[in-house]
Amino acid sequence: MTERPTADPGSFRDPDNRVFTADRQVFRVFNRRDAADIERLIRSEAFEDMVELGMVVSTEVLEPADIPGSITSLPDPALVVRHERIPFISYPYEWSFEMLKDAAALTLDLATRLLDHDYILKDATPYNVQFAGARPVFIDVGSFEPYEEGPPWDGYNQFCRLFLNPLLYERYVGQNFQHLLRSSLDGVDPGELRAMLPLRSKWTKTVFTNVVLQDSLSRRFEASAKASSEVSGHVIKRGAIRRMIRGLRSSAAKQRSQVRRSSWSDYESDNTYDQRSEDAKREFVESVLKRTQPGVVWDLGSNTGAYSLIAARHAGYVVAFDRDPQVVDAFYTRLRADPGGPTNVLPLVMDLVNPSPGQGWGHTERKSLADRGNADFFLALALMHHMVIAGEVPIDSILEWLASVAPEGVIEFVPREDPMARRLLLRRSRSHGEYSADGFAEALGRYFTVGDRAELPNGRILYSVVRKV
C-alpha cells in the first residue's frame, strides 16, 4: 500500500469501528468489543446469502498476513475487513421518493433477516445505505450486533425520523422532502411533522401510531423521569420487535408521492427538438463518448436520462444529476423496472446552482459535491441557458466550474432565439446581453480547447471540449 489510510469523516460516531480508505480501497477496523461477534457473522452462510442477494456490500475478513502495515499500526485493530468500493457516495437528501422507499425496505428486510440469526440492527439510518446504480445496498456492517431480548429496538425512532416521516410529509403535505433532510441530518422530528400534517391524515393508523402517539409519548417522557424509567424496564419480546418491523415495512411501502408533476416531467416528448435535430444530437454525443470511453461520466441536468443511457454504453459509471425530484424519480423507476437495463447509472436530485454542501461535524461528515471526487467526462446538454438565465450565474463561472468537474465533455449552447431560452427570459427582468453565441464561444476558449463542433438544424450548437492545462 502506497497511501496512508484516511479515516472517513462520516464514520466516527460508532465507537466500536471506523472506516478508512487508502489506494482506492475501503477498510473497516473493529476494536475488541465487537470484533468476535462481527467476525462470526461475516464468516457465516447467512451473511454470504445477504451479499449474494445484493442486500449487503461485499465484505472480506482480512487475515493478519493480508492486513496492510499502516492499518495494523492503528490503535487496537482487532478485526479488519475490506469492503467493495461504491462508485459514488450519495445522501438521502439527494434521493427521490422511490429511492428513499427502496432504501427503507432494504433496511427493514435486513433487520428481519438478522433477527432470524440472532442479530439486530443497532440503528436504522439511510446513511447506512448507498446506491450502486439503481440498486440500494447496505454498507455499514458495523451496525450489526447480537440480539438480546428485553430492550426496545433502538432503530425505531431513527427509522421514523429519517425514512418514514419524510415519506409521510411528501404524501400528505404534497411537497418534496429533500429540503427537510438536507436541513437536518437527524431527520424529521415527530412533533414538527405533526404540526405540518393536515388534520385528516392524523387519524390514519400509520400517522397516528408513528407520529401523533410518538410525539405525545416523547413529550411525556421528557416531562417525567418516572415514565421514562418504566419504559426502559419493560421487557420487549422478539416477536413484538418483528411485528414492529413488519408494520413499518408495510407503512413505508404503501406511501405514494402527492407532489404534482413538474413542467419538466414531460420534457422528453414536449421540447423544441425536431427529429432531425434530435438524431444529430444523439449521433454527436455518442460518437464523442465512443471515442473517449470515459471511466465516470457526470450527466449534468440529465432530465429524463436519455443521454445518461447513451453514456452508460460507453462509460464505466454514470451519475445523472437533475434538480427536479419528480423527473429523477421517473428515471429511477424506469431503471428499476428494466431487468435487462444498465446497472451503471445512478440518478440523483441535485440543484447545480445550489449543490449539496459539506455538512455535519467539521463540515465533512457528509461531503459536498465538490469533495466527492471528479468525473472523467461531463455532459452539459441544455444546461447553460438554465444556469445563466434562470440561475443568473455568469458564463465564465459556469465554464470554470465545468473545467473543474472533468477534463473532457460535451457542452450544448442554446441561443437566445430558441423557444426554451425565450421562455426563461420572460421570467427575468435583467439584461443578458452577454448571452450570445459569439460571447459564449469566446468564453469557452478561455477554459477549453474545442474539438468537434456541430450546429443542429434547430440552431443549437454542440461542442466537444478538452480542459486547458
Domain boundaries, the chain: 6-83, 92-253, 275-467
Task: Let me know: does 265 contact 348? Beta carbons within 8 Å.
Answer: no
| pLDDT value, residue 143 | 94
| pLDDT value, residue 433 | 52
User: Helix, strand or coil for residue 317?
Assistant: strand
The distance from CA 70 to its chain's CA centroid, rounded to whole angstroms, is 31
Give CATH for domain 275-467. 3.40.50.150
Distance from C-alpha of 331 to C-alpha of 386, rounded to nearest angstrom: 20
Angle between helices 45-52 and 35-42 (to 10 degrees): 60
Angle between helices 97-116 and 165-172 (to 10 degrees): 140
Task: Let me know: does 62 contact 81? Beta carbons within 8 Å.
Answer: yes
Radius of gyration of the chain measured on its C-alpha atoms: 25
Distance from C-alpha of 21 to C-alpha of 222, rounded to nearest angstrom: 41
Q: Is 232 exposed, middle or buried (0-12, 13-18, 19+ CB in 10 A)?
A: exposed
Q: Which portions of the chain are predicted below pLDDT 70?
A: 1-2, 72-76, 223-233, 262-272, 426-434
Which helix (H) or strand (E) segment holds residue 276: the answer is helix 275-292
Show the cell assigned to 82. Answer: 475490506
Half-sphere exposure of 271 (CA within 13 A, CB side): 18
| pLDDT value, residue 86 | 96
**pTM for the predicted model, two decimal places:** 0.93
Burial per residue of 371-388, b for 16 or more beta-carbon CB atoms within 10 angstroms, e otherwise: eeeebbbbbbbbbbbbbb
| pLDDT value, residue 307 | 98
Task: Let me know: does 57 contact 139? Beta carbons within 8 Å.
Answer: yes
Distance from C-alpha of 128 to C-alpha of 314, rounded to nearest angstrom: 30
Q: How many C-beta atoms surround the C-beta of residue 146 within 10 A?
A: 16
